[in-house]
Amino acid sequence: MASANAGTDWTAPESGRTQGFNAVTVLLVLAEQSSFEYLQDILQFIDCDVHVTESPNDLKRLVSGFSDRSLAVFLGSRLPDEERSSYLTAINECSPRPALIQVQEKGGEEMLVSADVLGTLRLPSHYDAITALLHKAQVFDESQRHGEAPRRPLELFRSLSGNGRATRSINKMIEQVADSDATVLILGESGTGKEVVARKLHYHSKRRGRPFVPVNCGAIPGDLLESELFGHEKGAFTGAITARQGRFELAEGGTLFLDEIGDMSMHMQVKLLRVLQERTFERVGSNKTIHCNVRIIAATHRNLEQAIKEDGFREDLYYRLNVFPIDVPPLRERVEDIPVLVNDLILRIEHEKRGSVRLTPAAVTALTHYRWPGNVRELANLIERLAILFPYGVVDVGDLPEKFRAGIPVTAVEPMADEVLPVVSTHGDQPNTVSSMPRLPAEGIDLKLHLANMEQSLIRQALEESNGVVAHAAKKLKMRRTTLVEKLRKYGLHRGQELTGL
């Protein structure tokens, strides 16, 4: 076993983030010494803090002493019924209650999963089974603590998540223009997060304490949009039984967000232009001038310059709006943001008490190959769906809906037979061998990603041929064992590999 590497960190399949289990404390309650030693070595190898409990009271003492950590109790199947019942009572009396994982030991009675049990671990086990259960324990711990102490507030609509160059550039522009009163025009496809940009602009401006009022110009019929924006007086039209304030008045001192402004009729464009020029307007059915102090932020998925050429949008209004343009690229052009977005979307679901879920690094990588026609909105819908299908579970590539798996190019994992050329290898003192080299696709290739996928594929093969023994796989790959362990940690290549023999 790998006791010499007990401090080695291991990749945790959590929304694209690399994180070990050094914040997890596992309490082992097992009847068999062999099972204890087996699990202790494995859990220490992936950096868990492992303790053995000697009695139910000792368990409660340990839980109390590690109240600041994620806790999981591994309860064995070969314990006498009375002793097992005492431990279950002690676990239920703990606050917060630790996650309970039952261990199906060799020769033990078959155990049934109950509502109190997070999952069952059968011995001998695999990396994926253990890490999935530990992730469930971490999520369970977070949900237990949610009602005890306030979690850090989430700026759900005030952050533009991502580490990509485009996202960093947008955030920089927001910082530069937020505290001014300049009109901002946000451009981008539907679902890219234009309203998120608008809300962040408002949140970081001097108008933060005043209203942020959004209006979807494409969702309101043209004959009603004027009343919606400027308000109306009693009797101004059929059905106007009382006077009503418009969105400009409601946003006084704050920000008015005009979404999908490209869908606004020419008639309303003229009226809006006048407000932007004079900062005054009249309610429908009134000749009283109202002065307004409102910052305008507009957004559209349309190409306004093309619309101007087609007489669908006023050129003078365009230049009034286009003082400070911000172009939000589609998600397919900033796939490097997907791991961060996945994590933030999961946090949002947890914050709203709608469950949780985790994705393995491989699943997140698969999502980066999808085209995302619905952009961030489609990604948010997917995460919500996965949280419903796999509550507090860990989602791997095979668990994703088919269309998200279909985007993974075959050549990124293994070259197709008709796409290779024979190459003679004569490196070093190795005999001549025939290997395969993928042809460069006409559209080009992401070389860094391609090489990483090839490396993962070869490591998987070496592990399979070595029956999961890392030391033997390292010899096949002609690298140091510690180097292979680091690569396993980097890529999360632990699924399906037996731990016996590490």
CB 367 within 8 A of CB 406: no
With 0-12 / 13-18 / 19 or more C-beta atoms within 10 angstroms meaning exposed / middle / buried, residue 272 is: buried
Task: Look up residue 253 and give its two tokens.
Answer: 């001192």
Task: Look up residue 396 and give its two tokens.
Answer: 């791997």
Distance in angstroms (rounded) separating the CA atoms of residues 357 and 341 = 14
Distance in angstroms (rounded) separating the CA atoms of residues 270 and 284 = 15
With 0-12 / 13-18 / 19 or more C-beta atoms within 10 angstroms meaning exposed / middle / buried, residue 6 is: middle
Q: Provide the terminal-to-terminal Cα distance of the chain, rounded to the nearest Å.
A: 5
Task: Give the tens place of pLDDT for each residue, 250-297.
Answer: 999 999 999 999 999 999 999 999 999 999 999 998 889 999 999 999
Whole-number pLDDT of residue 220? 87
Distance in angstroms (rounded) separating the CA atoms of residues 43 and 50 = 7
**DSSP SS3 for 258:** strand
Query: pTM higher than 0.85, yes or no?
Result: no
**In whole angstroms, how far apart are CA 425 and each of 292, 421, 422, 448, 478?**
76, 13, 10, 23, 17
Query: DSSP state, 17?
Result: B
**pLDDT tens for the chain, residues 1 to 502:** 333 333 333 333 333 333 456 678 899 998 888 888 888 888 887 778 888 888 899 888 888 888 777 888 998 888 888 888 888 888 888 877 888 888 887 665 555 544 467 778 888 877 777 877 887 787 777 666 544 433 333 344 445 777 788 888 998 999 999 999 999 999 999 999 999 999 999 988 999 889 999 999 988 887 789 989 999 888 888 777 888 889 999 999 999 999 999 999 999 999 999 999 999 999 998 889 999 999 999 999 999 999 999 999 999 999 999 999 999 999 999 988 998 899 888 888 887 778 888 898 888 989 999 999 999 999 999 999 999 998 888 888 889 999 998 756 543 443 333 333 333 333 344 433 333 344 555 667 677 777 777 788 788 778 877 777 888 888 888 888 888 887 887 776 654 444 334 4
- Bridge-based pairing of strands 255-259 and 358-359 is unpaired
Q: Which residue has the tokens 């505290």?
A: 179
Cis ω on the peptide bond leading into residue 80 (within 30° of 0)?
A: no
> DSSP alpha helices (H): ranges in 390-469?
402-405, 447-465
Q: Can you list the domains of the chain with their CATH numbers? A: 3-146 (3.40.50.2300), 165-331 (3.40.50.300), 334-408 (1.10.8.60)
Give per-residue burial for 233-269: e unless 16+ CB within 10 Å, then b: beebeeeeeeebebbbbebbebbbbbbbbbbbeeebb
Whole-number pLDDT of residue 176? 94
